[in-house]
């Protein structure tokens, strides 16, 4: 009796896991053939975070060169398929706000700084693509442009750590600006 119950539970778990994964997948665009969408998804699958970069895992070697971490969810290009519209400003801003309680702890610093950077890039893209136009968000776009100039395109952990004060300050200034302009993103 026990074996059949255990086997049934295992089958149900596998079915539910498969269902959850299929519900998480983004539908292919009508114009794209299934083989094209799976080919487009293959590079992004290779760029997904490894288990070692997940929250709670040990921090990457800060002396090793390279990117701080893979794109965080919600950031610029994190899960967007080529040709898909950018996030709405309110969604991108919510992703940025989700970083407010985070901090640069020794085990999470690379992930945290990379996520803040990615969320700022996603918000920048959303503001520039907003129907109101980029002129509707002058201060946040200028703050992100200043940060980008300082970073010089280098997203390595060492560079983000060296500019941590500017990175977090930019996030906080944009949060304050957006809180003062709620009609701009709702």
Buried b (16+ CB within 10 A) or exposed e, 78-115: bebeeeeebbebeebbebbeebeebebeeebbbbbbbb
Residue 48's pLDDT is: 37
List the chain pLDDT tens, one digit each, 186 residues.
545 555 565 555 555 555 454 444 444 444 444 444 334 433 333 333 433 344 444 444 444 444 444 444 444 444 455 666 778 999 999 999 999 999 999 999 999 999 999 999 999 999 999 888 888 899 999 999 999 999 999 999 999 999 999 999 999 999 999 999 877 666
User: How far is residue 186's CA from residue 171's CA, in Å, rounded to a whole number?
Assistant: 19
Nearest to 99 by CA among 19, 12, 170, 5: 170
Residue 114's pLDDT is: 96
Are residues 72 and 116 in contact, defined by beta-carbon separation less than 8 angstroms? no
Nearest to 145 by CA among 170, 162, 168: 170
Q: Which two tokens stand for residue 79?
A: 């899960």
Residue 26's pLDDT is: 46
For the entire predicted model, the pTM comes to: 0.58
């Amino acid at each position: 009796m026990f074996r059949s119950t255990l086997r049934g539970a295992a089958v149900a778990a596998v079915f539910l896991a498969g269902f959850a994964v299929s519900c998480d997948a983004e539908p292919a665009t009508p114009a794209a053939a299934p083989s094209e969408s799976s080919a487009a998804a293959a590079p992004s699958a290779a760029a997904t975070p490894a288990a070692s970069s997940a929250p709670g895992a040990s921090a990457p070697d800060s002396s090793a060169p390279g990117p701080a971490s893979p794109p965080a969810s919600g950031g610029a290009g994190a899960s967007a398929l080529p040709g898909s519209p950018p996030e709405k400003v309110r969604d991108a801003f919510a992703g940025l706000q989700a970083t407010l309680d985070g901090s640069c702890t020794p085990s999470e610093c690379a992930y945290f700084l990379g996520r803040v950077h990615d969320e700022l890039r996603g918000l920048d893209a959303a503001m520039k693509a907003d129907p109101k136009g980029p002129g509707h968000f002058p201060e946040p776009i200028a703050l992100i442009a200043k940060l980008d100039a300082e970073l010089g395109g280098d997203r390595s952990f060492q560079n983000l750590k060296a500019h941590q004060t500017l990175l977090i300050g930019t996030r906080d200034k944009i949060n304050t600006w957006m809180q003062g302009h709620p009609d701009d993103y709702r």
